[in-house]
Amino acid sequence: MSRVATIASATLAPAILALFVSLATPSASWAMPGAGGGKGGMHHAYGQPLLASDLPVGMVTVKVVGKGVADKRVGVAVTLVPEGGGAEAAKIVKYTGADGRARFAGLTPGKRYQALLGAKGVEQRSAVFGIPKGGGVRLLMSGGSAPAGAHGTGPKSAKGSISAAKAGGKASVSRKPTRDRKTLGLAGGTHLRGQVGKGGLSFMQVFELLNRGQAPIDPGPEGIVLPAPEGAVGLAVGRNEEALAQVAKDGRSVRITGLIKPGKTRLHITFKLLTDGPRLDYRQRMGLPMGYSLVAIMNNNDLSMIGPRYQRHEMRGETKVFLFRPVKAGGSFEFTLSDIPYHDPTLRNLTLVAAALLLIWALLSSVGARARREGRQRMRDELLERLVDLAERDATSSGRDDAKQREKLLAELRPIWRD
């Protein structure tokens, strides 16, 4: 490794580890992007769909605000457009009411839409979102100028809309989404958190999507594919993130279909990797370039790690954190975990088989002994009957031959009688 790379690694690694602690601590709050409060936080919340179980099925509400959340915009046009555009007749236009909300009801679950602020000139676009099967969707958007005479707005106040507002002395201009992905990657803070369980390890992977450009990135109809690790089962997208990405039909990858705004966007996926021994081989093709990343295994300090991009590890309480060097787009993120707690079922299975054989032998022995006892009983009864017959014949004959016969019967009866 070059001297520059060594210095960069030594400088970046502690920062990334410190960032992970704030993200991976069990008490950390996994909020939606922009939910942290403050002006910058609210900016990132604009246009991001939020699933709302308290809304009726097929309902979408869009709240339009001005300079702050309390600055409700009344009479602003909001257009709902089906994914891919579609015919003009398929577009739905609603206006915000006194509470600053435009309401769209009766939408079909499963269909995908994008909300546009403004009836003619588009001031802001939301991320593409799907209509859930349960509940509805809420959106927060900023800007918009209402028709003249609308409450709280007018030609004069329209000049104060967000598209003409000045920030730092420069006008804030809405940019048209682009399909150029050159500015998109995975930032430091992308990490993998695992926990050893019965039959394998359960993982949560957090992608820190970083759009370094000035315009939102439109993934297009094919989407941006993020492959899951080889052998992953139970792949799922994080709660309230279905509008941004969905699991592919084959269950082997996640497809990003929603707009990726400038800056950072967080995406969570969960899955499980099964093990049949004390070792796990992890291989995942990266659809995007990934910076320094982390792997954290909780509640197990005895694990060993090797891998081509692996650098070092640290202990953070009960969590063992492993640091990895960057991976290029299309490259493989891979490592091997050893010394995973594992109980070989072979001995247990052999014990069960031996116990079953002993039980079968005992049953067969019991049946055989019973059959032998019944056979000896029949033989005793038969010999006794023949002795009685001989005794009756003694009264009418010389008894010479009968005496010999009686000795023979008694000789046969003695061993049977002892048993």
> pLDDT tens digits, residue range 274-301?
998 889 999 999 999 999 999 999 877 7
Per-residue model confidence (pLDDT) at position 224: 95
Assign domain 45-171 to its CATH architecture: Sandwich (2.60)
Q: Other C-beta atoms within 10 Å of 9: how many?
A: 16
Q: Is 272 exposed, middle or buried (0-12, 13-18, 19+ CB in 10 A)?
A: middle
Residue ranges per structural domain of the chain:
45-171, 184-338, 350-418
Rounded Cα distance, 301 and 50, in Å: 38
The reply to whether domains 45-171 and 184-338 share a CATH topology is yes
| Residue-by-residue pLDDT tens, the chain, 419 positions | 444 444 444 444 554 555 444 444 433 333 333 333 334 445 667 888 988 888 899 999 999 998 877 888 888 889 998 987 666 567 888 988 888 899 999 999 989 999 998 655 566 888 899 999 888 999 999 876 544 444 433 333 333 333 333 333 333 345 789 999 999 999 988 999 999 988 899 999 999 999 999 899 999 988 999 999 999 999 999 988 888 999 999 999 999 999 999 999 999 999 999 998 889 999 999 999 999 999 999 877 788 999 999 999 998 888 899 999 999 999 999 999 998 886 655 666 677 787 888 888 888 877 777 777 777 778 777 777 777 777 766 666 655 566 777 777 777 777 776 65
Per-residue pLDDT at 44: 63
Burial (CB count <10 Å: 0-12, 13-18, 19+), residue 170:
exposed
Residue type at 220 in one-letter notation: G
Topology annotation, domain 184-338: Immunoglobulin-like (2.60.40)
C-alpha distances (whole Å) from 351 to each of 355, 358, 360 are 6, 11, 14
pTM for the structure as a whole: 0.49
